[in-house]
Structure 1
């Protein structure tokens, strides 16, 4: 499925009025150019420029219209074609390679303010790794997903006073569709449907508990016990449900919180480390650098509240 040429051509002038040209990088961090204090950005992009390895705190979604597009995320390359949609996790290192000719839509969203919504923890586990939406792999929901992107794009370029609200409502609907589809495709230990529902509810509670208590000394054994599973059964189910191991998810949540706290000049880096659950500053520095490819000090120096990603 590709966008019909007449529809694209009829909107090209509106789209180009908003198009700003090249994307701006500060070393390997992209400064997302939101407009009018918004927290989202959509481009119609026809450039053939490549972009070296970089990162940003916005989730990026690429939707080719004509021609392919290559994206390398953490050493894994994704070759996407028209009709396919790639989700790039926020904070992940990635590079972009375009063909000589081609067009695509690029969506960037700041999801920080959505994270306190009930149930969003399970959405975050899905968004923590790359997703490729293809018709053959998302057949039952593909058309609904694609149509939601068309609606978001149309709202953005309509310049409506309520465009951001409408776009985020479509985005939440999109996330809900993907999450429900992923859950329906899971085979949680080949259990019956009623048991799968029980497991899903239980793991949603586990994720919410971790998100509320990640700063504490959490361990796999104690969380498995609270959930009513053996350590090994819990580990297997947690990986199936989240696509993360327990320790990977806990680290992911702590580093995400630390990145936010580093924006506060009243907290030292040691205080930030302790606040998110690291008992060793050296461990915190090492893991933060592994995830963000810069030290906490470098991250803090690069942080600009006028361009909060």
Structure 2
């Protein structure tokens, strides 16, 4: 005999007038097939498994985002019960229709406002998207951190992060669902954004305009024009700025040696790193680390 589908209620999750709930959890076989009276975004953070939704079953893997509307029955399952070998770790962000109505009123862009309205009206079916860069992952990490460690203004900040997630979901969904001609300006902009993501994810590598030209199949001259147009910097200046930004992040959040951080940021020569860092930040890496740890 099949177990009945359970209904999860928002009142269980929403506390202190906060119309949103975020968690990071390891999926298992204990959570029942369920539906809910709230809206849900789920991001697969680690591992893989299966998503049982309605009458269908889909394999899932790291980097996927799922939208589950109100009333849709679903559950995530890992590959096996041995979670140490086969984990399925997800971020869940659930929120009420009332919150979505507030965010819809805030939206000034017609397309975003209509997208939010269609979700609120229940006319958007469940869907999944793949995080081609790391935009979804970064937002879910921020959402979880702000929810888990609340401070002054955390409620408003969480709502802003959700609004940002809705915009990125809309953009990704549109780009995934409507192929664009490779000659169009929109295609060029999307492909260039992917190239910027590639740079950020490979800062430790030997990056050059020539190498990016081979990857993108754009000429070096055209790439240089795109950098000037969309970043208002040359390629070399832009690359230097994101490498220094990454090194600052590592200095703030890790205890790695400065030489290690230099390599992770793409500087093979420590002297060059020290000179560029001081010129851009106005302090040595050691002094910067000390100032932000006070």
Q: TM-score, normalised by structure 2?
A: 0.47
Q: TM-score, normalised by structure 1?
A: 0.45
